[in-house]
Amino acid sequence: MTVYLHEEDLPAGLFAPGAAIAVDTETMGLITPRDRLCLVQLSDGGPDEHLVRFGPGSDYAAPNLKALLADPARDKLYHFARFDLAAIKHYLGVTAAPVYCTKTASRLVRTYTDRHGLKELVRELLGQDISKQQQSSDWGGPELSDAQKDYAASDVRYLHRLRDELDRRLVRENRAELAQACFDFLPWRAELDLAGWPEIDIFAHV
């Protein structure tokens, strides 16, 4: 199991065509237009993870990464896709769909709990422990620490296995179609965030 760090773009042809790719992002903070995109993490479910780092003042050209993210024949797996989709759209200019979101799936099947964080999902569904210690660290510095790299990689390491288990539960509870409709809407939910409706539920009565 190896974590590879790439600067400004992925190498071409890294992943088999059509393979689903787990995607996560690290930014300088939670306000997308203010807080620049620093890192995109990717995994095809195999033993390695790939990190693409963007420096301050990056032009975010990244043609190989953009082609991968925009590929309509390749599912992208996220945990809380809404945030990553907005960051990717804002900085890389692509809609990184088709989408699968493990947090959304969890909300639709794990109705017995309000704990839908990645750490909790990995613990309950896969019986493994991941640390969230580096979550709020400085992703914009010139060197990423080994702890940061491992943390960043762990955010995409389990998403394929989580999807398998969540899909079983979605089918069991007859909510697979509802989940798919939610996943399909997520790029638009991210567009609403970017367009000025970040915390407003436009479906609410008041």
Residues that bind Mn ion (CB under 5 A): 24, 155
Q: How far is the CB of 11 from Mn ion (least distance, A)?
A: 22
CB of 66 to Mn ion, least distance (A): 20
Among residues 139 and 176, whose Cβ is nearest to Mn ion?
A: 139
Residue with smaller CB distance to Mn ion, 24 or 49: 24
* Three-state secondary-structure class, residue 81: helix
Residue with tokens 């996560």: 24
Nearer to Mn ion, 91 or 176 (CB): 91
CB neighbours (10 Å) of residue 9? Answer: 16
CB 193, min distance to Mn ion, A? 17
Alpha-carbon torsion 201, 93, 91, 155, what sign? Answer: positive
Tell the smallest beta-carbon distance from residue 154 to Mn ion (Å): 9
CB nearer to Mn ion: give 111 or 145.
145
Query: CA angle, 147 as apex, 67 and 136 as ends, to 5°?
Result: 75
Amino acid at 104: T
